[in-house]
Amino acid sequence: MNKARLSTTQFILLSFFVTILFGSVLLSLPISSADGVAVPYLDALFTATTSTCVTGLVTLPTYSTWSTFGQIVILLLIQIGGLGVITIMSGFMLLLNKRMGISDRLLIQDAFNLNTLTGILRFVKKVLIGTFAVEGMGAVLYMFVFVPEFGFKGIWISVFNAISAFCNAGIDIIGENSLCNYATNPLINVVTSALIILGGIGYIVWWDVLQVMKKRTPQNKHVFRYLSLHSKIAITATLGFVLIGGCLILGFEYSNPLTIRDMTLFDKVQVAMFQSVTTRTAGFATVPQENLTDASSVVSLILMLIGGSPVGTAGGMKTVTIIVLFSATYATIINKNSTTLFNRKIPENAVKKAVAVVVTFMTICLTSTILLMAVSDAPILAIVYETFSASATVGLSRNFTASLNTFGKIIIIITMYFGRVGPISLAVALGSRREKTDIISEPEEEISIG
């Protein structure tokens, strides 16, 4: 792996950009089109971007626009985007038994925000094996529904859906209304939700849980107690946001005739919980988003912004970032000197990183929203839903993406790109940069805040 003296941040930015361009060229070929007529390049570029950035917004229906070749290209882009180009390249080097130098190992360390070079190659192997194993199990479970319905084609649909769900991409090849036909199917809901959460919880949490379980003894049965602080925050935040979001959506949609009013209580609960899960950057829909009440839409926007957890396939500002920021805010309100979680002190540098990530992310969201409002004639909620969805790489839309004009498509393409690589690159840059110690510091002066 040759970085050509690029920093990790530059390498990530460039690798995603090159992957998108290469994918757009392939998708613009006639062989990629279902009818043999090449799609307009801007739509091919949009599709390559939404696939590589694992977003899920589409200007053309995936199931009917693209040939089998085109769908394979899209799926490969999703897998590359979900795992990351660095992971894919490292996997090929391991497969070919090529030796990795110290610069390659440092690149992987920065990409996964690891604290040590020890066991780097073993970690990459675990990530790849774990990913393919989970996606494989998801595909097999999907086949119980899709094979009886679609026959042999159901195998391909199952594989595509499993990879898309695990990578939090939200792109499917079933039909034009996502998973709405399976809104009350428990197997589809459970399998899809499990894949979304496992992909979005982060690889660090995976291995931490497995390591603690291996060391568990009859005297020490409590796994959670021995997890790292990062894992505790990621797990509790994920469960908390899913449950709170699901309960709010259930309440706001309970009597909505356009969504769940006429369903049984069990079906209402599973649809509401799925909406809470899918807004965590997955993008599958079991109810049309434009039919949601305004209150549910706002809850969905908040869940989009939060996203998944660090070092996973999800986007957004990340659960750990939000929890650290809220904890720091609470500590400031009660005039506490330090931020603590689970009886552990959060480093001040981590709080600063959280602020930087949130400010950067909100800048992307707001800039995109203002620009799209300037070039589009659509309800403000539809525009905000679109730009927040693109920034957080969610892929949910209030039936607006297909109507985007040329300028609108370009704005969303750029938003998806920066929404995916911006927070990752910022986290890498902040994580790998050494703290500067000023020899001469400027004089301090009090200012008023709030």
Q: Higher confidence at residue 120 or residue 146?
A: 146
One-letter amino acid of 145 = V
Does position 247 have pLDDT exceeding 80, yes or no?
yes
Mean pLDDT for all residues in the chain: 87
What is the distance, to the nearest Å, from the Cα of residue 169 to the centroid of all Cα atoms in its chain? Answer: 7
Cα gap 83→312, rounded to integer Å:
8
Q: Which of 112, 83, 115, 121 minimizes the C-alpha distance to 8?
A: 112
What one-character-per-residue DSSP string does 32-87 give? Answer: GBTTSSPPPHHHHHHHHHHHHTT----SS-HHHHB-HHHHHHHHHHHHHHHH-HHH
* Within a domain: 437: no
Residue 362 has a CB neighbour count (10 Å cut-off) of: 13
For residue 307, being part of any structural domain is answered with yes
CB 62 within 8 A of CB 172: yes
Position with higher pLDDT, 178 vs 160? 160
Q: Please give the Cα distance from 215 to 329 (Å, whole number).
A: 36
Q: Please say if the pLDDT value at position 201 is more than 60.
A: yes
pLDDT band at 226 (very low <50, low <70, confident <90, very high): confident
Asked if residue 402 is part of any domain, the answer here is yes
92-111 as b/e, with b when 16 or more CB fall inside 10 Å? Answer: ebeeeeeebeeebbebbbbb
> pLDDT tens-digit profile of 421-441?
876 666 555 555 445 555 566
Q: Does some domain include residue 182?
A: yes
308 located within any domain: yes
Q: What is the DSSP annotation of 348-371? A: HHHHHHHHHHHHHHHHHHHHHHHH
413 within domain boundaries: yes
Alpha carbon distance, N-terminus to C-terminus of the chain: 49
Instruction: Let me know if residue 329 belongs to a domain.
Output: yes
Q: Using the predicted structure, report yes or no on whether residue 1 has a pLDDT greater than 70.
A: no
| Domains identified in the chain, total number | 1
d(CA 266, CA 301): 25
Mean pLDDT, to the nearest integer, of 280-287?
Answer: 89
Residue 413 confidence (pLDDT): 96
How far apart CA 398 and CA 379 sit, in angstroms, is 10
Check if the beta carbon of residue 12 is closer than 8 Å to that of residue 428.
Answer: yes
pLDDT of residue 349: 85
Mean pLDDT of 215-244: 86
Looking at residue 437, what DSSP letter applies?
A: -
Contact present, 186 and 270 (Cβ < 8 Å): yes
pLDDT tens readout for residues 33-72: 999 999 999 999 999 999 999 999 999 999 999 999 999 9
Residue 132 near residue 164, CB atoms below 8 Å: no
Calculate ∠ Cα 51-26-74, nearest 5°.
Answer: 25
How high is the pLDDT of residue 220?
A: 66
Residue 36 CA to residue 244 CA, distance in Å, equals 47
Query: Rounded to 5 degrees, what are φ and ψ at 2?
Result: -115, 115
User: Residue 187's pLDDT band (boundaries 50, 70, 90)?
Assistant: very high
Beta strands, E only, 224-372: 339-341, 344-346
Q: What is the pLDDT at residue 114?
A: 62
Q: Residue 394's closest CA among 380, 372, 415, 422?
A: 415
- Beta partners for residue 66, in sequence order: 33
pLDDT digits (tens, 9 = 90+) for 365-392: 999 999 999 999 999 999 999 999 999 9
Look up the domain containing 309 and give its range.
8-214+223-432
What is the pLDDT, as a whole number, of residue 162? 96
Chain-centre distance for alpha carbon 193: 13
Q: Which pLDDT value is given to residue 68?
A: 95
Contact between 27 and 76 under an 8 Å Cβ cutoff? The reply is: no
Q: How many CB atoms lie within 10 A of CB 375?
A: 15
pLDDT for residue 120: 72
Residue 39 lies in a domain: yes
pLDDT at 87: 75
Section 305-312 average pLDDT: 88
Q: Which amino acid is at 189?
A: N
Collapsed DSSP state (helix, strand, coil) of residue 111: helix
Type of residue found at 407: F
Which whole number is the average pLDDT over 241-270?
96
Q: Which of 118-122, 128-132, 194-198 is modeled with the greatest confidence? A: 194-198
The SS3 assignment for 149 reads helix
